[in-house]
Amino acid sequence: MTILALCLASSLTSCTGNETKTDDTTPETDSLTEQAQEFAELEGVYFSKIYMTETQSVDLYLKISADGSFVFARGTDFENSEKGSGKLGKTESGENAFFYTAINGSQVNKGEKTSTYTIDKDGSVCFTSTMWFGSTAPKITNDDGTISYPVFTKYDPSSSVEPKDTETTNVTESTSTVPADTNAPEETKKPETTTVPETTKVPEQTKKPETTTVPEETKKPETTAPAETKPSVTEPTPTFSEGTYTGSLTKFVDAMNSNVKYDISISFNNGTYEYKVKVTLSGGMDYTADESCSGTYTLNGDKLSMSGKMSEGTIYGTSVTLKGYLSSFAGSEETVTVFK
């Protein structure tokens, strides 16, 4: 009897242990299933438009895959992870977060760059802490001093298509002046009654201007004209020299209570130019970005005809006044003077 009791006790203990192990693994598998479901629901492309000024804005794009990986980009091609990439997950406190693994082409240590977020009722991704987009960390300073971060909404490609302009043609606007011309033959009778033969003395009067020395007088302006045009062509050309020119432009935008500053450097060499600009937005929004571009130029007197983002330049001694799109965010051309 004692041996049987021990066997039964051992059997019950073994079953109890197996049941305990099964219960311990259930929460983990449930958590993984819930997380995978969340990623699947978030899968898609998102965008956020940040207004730097009244005429300048930038679109930030975000792609979330079904496995929870994400990529930021300036467009919808997502060819590289320069603006940021990584994996979604949860922080130790249970908050939803973006865990960056690469920014600006460089690897990021796990947990070094982490941005928390929430999901709005309409499915938008709302960042609740600092997020990174390349070398920038966009954020908005509100009037009351509080800080908010970008909100990414689901991207709808059809909404970006501009409606076609309706064509209007005023074909019916025509004036029938043909009947009025029928009176022309009646008017021609008047010159027939005039004494044209009697005015044959006119050619006799024309003999006087023939005797005037008009051609002799025209010789004087001919000698002065070329003398005036020579300095206008030769003087401006020596004032321009190749090299690097720098300058800055700062604007205050009342609507955003912000300052926008462009720190510009442009180098001219053998018909080509290299343009660099650092854009800094402060006040209502904190934002910085570094950009560069290149193009060609031709010199015509004191004028530069330029290709690319710069359209033209005017030379004033050791300075050049440039006109063009000062950054990729600019909605219109502006002018800025750079100095050597």
- For the residues of 280-314, what is the DSSP string, one character each? EEEESEEEEEEEEEEEEEEEETTEEEE-TTEEEEE
Q: Which residue has the higher pLDDT, 142 or 195?
A: 142
- By the 8 A CB rule, do 261 and 253 touch? no
- Among candidates 258, 261, 233, 260, which has minimal Cα distance to 248? 261
Instruction: With respect to residue 118, please indicate whether it lies within any of the assigned structural domains.
Output: yes
Q: Which residue has the higher pLDDT, 287 or 95?
A: 95
pLDDT band at residue 134 using 50, 70 and 90 as cut-offs? confident
pLDDT band at residue 130 using 50, 70 and 90 as cut-offs? very high
For the ranges 3-17, 67-81, 178-192, the maximum mean pLDDT occurs at 67-81
Instruction: With respect to residue 254, please indicate whether it lies within any of the assigned structural domains.
Output: yes
Token representation of residue 83: 């603006």
Q: What is the pLDDT of residues 96-122, one digit of tens each?
A: 999 999 998 899 988 899 999 999 999
> Picking from 17-31, 52-66, 261-275, 291-305, which range would have the lowest pLDDT averaged per residue?
17-31
What is the spatial distance between Cα 331 and Cα 316, in angstroms, rounded to a whole number? 27
**pLDDT in the model for residue 305:** 95
Instruction: With respect to residue 28, please indicate whether it lies within any of the assigned structural domains.
Output: no
Summary mean pLDDT of the chain: 74
Q: Are residues 48 and 151 in the same domain?
A: yes
Instruction: With respect to residue 199, please indicate whether it lies within any of the assigned structural domains.
Output: no
Q: What is the pLDDT of residues 213-257, one digit of tens each?
A: 545 555 555 555 555 555 554 444 446 889 999 999 888 765 556
- Among candidates 87, 127, 77, 85, which has minimal Cα distance to 103? 85
Instruction: With respect to residue 132, please indicate whether it lies within any of the assigned structural domains.
Output: yes
- By the 8 A CB rule, do 248 and 276 touch? no
Query: Does residue 24 carry a pLDDT above 60?
Result: no
**pLDDT in the model for residue 222:** 55
Q: What is the pLDDT of residues 145-174, one digit of tens each?
A: 888 999 999 998 876 533 333 333 333 333
**Count of domains for the chain:** 2
Instruction: With respect to residue 203, please indicate whether it lies within any of the assigned structural domains.
Output: no
Instruction: With respect to residue 191, please indicate whether it lies within any of the assigned structural domains.
Output: no
- For the residues of 159-220, what is the DSSP string, one character each? GGSPPPPPP---TT-----TGGGGGHHHHTHHHHHS-TGGGGGHHHHTHHHHHS-HHHHHHH
- Among candidates 317, 177, 325, which has minimal Cα distance to 249? 325
**pLDDT in the model for residue 29:** 59
Instruction: With respect to residue 77, please indicate whether it lies within any of the assigned structural domains.
Output: yes
> What's the domain range around 268?
239-339
Domain final residue, candidates 155, 187, 204: 155
pLDDT band at residue 316 using 50, 70 and 90 as cut-offs? confident
**pLDDT in the model for residue 277:** 94
Q: Which residue has the higher pLDDT, 3 or 57?
A: 57
Q: Domain of 299: which CATH number?
A: 2.40.128
